[in-house]
Amino acid sequence: MRLLEMTERLVKGPLFGCRMCGNCLLQETAFICPMECPKGLRNGPCGGSTSEKCYVDETRKCVWYEIFKRAKKMGREDKLLEILPPMDWDKAGTETWGEVVRQISKVGARKFTGSLFIKNKEKKSEVWESVFRPLRQPEWWNGDSEYHPPAYEGTVSELEKRLKNGEFVVTTEVTPPLSASTNKLKEDIEIVKPYVAAINFTDNSSASPRMSSMACCKVSGELNAEPVLQIAARDKTRCGLQAEIVGVNEMGVRNVLCISGDSARIGPSPMSNLSILDIDSIQMLWILRRMRDEGIYLDGRKMKFPPKLFLGAATSPFAAEPVLQAIREQKKINAGAQYFQTNLIFDPDGLEKWLEELDKKDILSKAYILVGISPLKSFKMAQYLHFDVPGITIPEKMMNRMEKAGDSALEEGITIALDLIDSIKRKKGVSGIHLMTFGREDITKKIIIEAGLETKKNALIPDDDKNV
Ligand code: SF4
């Protein structure tokens, strides 16, 4: 075994960038080892990735872009849709060739060798799948490339109910407090509650600790305001995720947003580990969907009362070219995403291209899209977002408007936000907006009223859904 391990290390290292994770996925990742990603992502790029450089380690390219490019060249893009499992850490650092040999002898060495010379692609892939699929998709995971519609009737949350009823919804974000006092948090919730369908509570955004999203959701529930729990993969283990979900469900929290989370690179020092060590956002969706629809924990234990969940994901439509980005969105929907809240959008035409790609994949009807809108505060803020934040593009015309606005920049930013809402609200596939004003809740209210999106309904949780 030691000899096999050394040989594998010597051959696969230089050829594929192999890190000997012991959970080989090379077949699905165009023969480039995804473990080269500083975050250790195994299901696609993070929201901060761009074609130029890795967002965590700027000295290198994003390994997932390299994987996408190679997969496209090899005609293996469909392979990127398979939901790949988290690591089985028991295998880390061990060889995988021994397992391949054992699986080949199960399938039949002659059959496998014969497949090397078969020209028929389908037959060849059938034999190869019989060898490699059980290795990369252990029974406890059983990932695939299929769409799994939610296995429940009706709706589980007020947000889902409104979206299902075709209402153009507004969600917003309230920043959790820095201290243990909830006075300001309660004030902020009360300001926006009458105007939005649900309130997101961020999970240590910018990798800086604050009051947990879970605690804020509890406060929100006590004020009868519908919360959205955000969970960043950065800070979660598989065990912690499942425990938290069962716990918050008991509190009445149904809406969950699974995100990768900002890298510790932009967080305070001393810097913590850069790697997303245990599970990525796509794996979180897969685990939570199976908890809800199949009533099982990842380890196979059954639950008598599975959690009720409306599962969401984040997306950054301009992070990659629309074709690549659409693969990422499709994968999240297949894993379990029922709605998306997007990164900040300032370019309605670019958004249209992204929506068209989703439509080509027939996925617009499978998830609700809430477009991220934020009023610009100043020309400086516009420059920062455009030049320093991956995935955000501000068109030149808009930049000029902000520059010319001078002392009236705040008002101009609100006018731009209103123009954006007006131009995106009739686009096919858009179900609402996710308004982010970063601590300016009075502006959230102003924009909603001026955009004519104020409805009689609000973020109140109906009595029959109350469980807090
Ligand atoms: S951390 Fe993000 S940008 Fe860097 S390689 Fe990984 S997916 Fe790409």
Burial code (b: 16+ CB inside 10 Å, e: under 16) for 371-380 equals bbbbbbbbbe
Name the residue ranges covered by the structural domains of the chain. Answer: 2-81+89-136, 158-465
Structure tokens at 114: 């014969």
Write the DSSP string, 113-150.
Answer: HHHTT---HHHHHHHHHHHHHHHHS-TTT---S-----
Q: pLDDT for 55-94, tens place per residue?
A: 888 888 889 888 988 888 888 888 899 999 998 888 887 7
Question: CA 170 to CA 212: how far, in whole Å?
Answer: 23
Report residue 467's pLDDT band, with 50, 70 and 90 as the boundaries.
very low
The arithmetic mean of pLDDT across residues 122-127, rounded, is 84
User: What integer pLDDT is reported at residue 2 of this predicted model?
Assistant: 66
Q: Cα(119) to centroid of ligand 1, in Å?
A: 36
For 158-465, CATH gives 3.20.20.220
Tell me: pLDDT of 311 over 70.
Answer: yes
Max CA separation in the chain (angstroms): 77
Give residues with Cβ within 8 angstroms of 401, minimum separation 6.
Answer: 412, 416
Mean pLDDT of the chain: 90
Ligand 1 proximity of 318 Cβ (cutoff 6 Å)? no
Q: pLDDT for 399-435, tens place per residue?
A: 999 999 999 999 999 999 999 999 999 899 999 999 9
* In the chain, % of residues over pLDDT 70: 93
Do 288 and 233 contact (CB within 8 A), yes or no?
A: no
Tell me: pLDDT of 5 over 70.
Answer: no
The residue whose CA has the least distance to atom 4 of ligand 1 is: 54
Q: Cα(204) to centroid of ligand 1, in Å?
A: 20
Q: Cα(55) to centroid of ligand 1, in Å?
A: 6
What residues form DSSP beta bridges with 173? 200
Using the atom order of ligand 1, give the atom closest to the CA of residue 55: 3
Q: Cα(36) to centroid of ligand 1, in Å?
A: 9
Report residue 390's pLDDT band, with 50, 70 and 90 as the boundaries.
confident
Question: CA 124 to CA 117: how far, in whole Å?
Answer: 9
The arithmetic mean of pLDDT across residues 198-214, rounded, is 96
The arithmetic mean of pLDDT across residues 439-462, rounded, is 82
Do 317 and 351 contact (CB within 8 A), yes or no?
A: yes
Least confident segment among 116-130, 187-201, 325-339 = 116-130
Strands 169-174 and 430-435, sheet pairing = parallel
Write the DSSP string, 76-112.
Answer: -GGGGGS-PPPP-GGGTTS-SHHHHHHHHHHH-HHHH
Question: CA 399 to CA 403: how far, in whole Å?
Answer: 6
pTM tops 0.85: yes
Q: Which residue has the higher pLDDT, 146 or 319?
A: 146
Q: Which residue has the higher pLDDT, 465 or 257?
A: 257
161-164, long-range: CB < 8 A, 24+ apart? 162/197, 162/457, 163/339, 163/368, 163/431, 163/432
Ligand 1 proximity of 197 Cβ (cutoff 6 Å)? no
Q: Cα(389) to centroid of ligand 1, in Å?
A: 14
Rounded (5°) CA angle 457-459-460 = 85
The arithmetic mean of pLDDT across residues 129-137, rounded, is 87
Ligand 1 proximity of 56 Cβ (cutoff 6 Å)? yes
Q: Which residue has the higher pLDDT, 147 or 64?
A: 147
Report residue 109's pLDDT band, with 50, 70 and 90 as the boundaries.
confident
Ligand 1 proximity of 54 Cβ (cutoff 6 Å)? yes
Do 459 and 226 contact (CB within 8 A), yes or no?
A: yes
Least confident segment among 211-215, 328-332, 350-354, 463-467 = 463-467
User: What integer pLDDT is reported at residue 444 of this predicted model?
Assistant: 96
Residue in the structure block whose two tokens are 């991220």: 372
Question: CA 141 to CA 286: how far, in whole Å?
Answer: 9
User: What integer pLDDT is reported at residue 430 of this predicted model?
Assistant: 98
Tell me: pLDDT of 466 over 60.
Answer: no
Report residue 277's pLDDT band, with 50, 70 and 90 as the boundaries.
confident
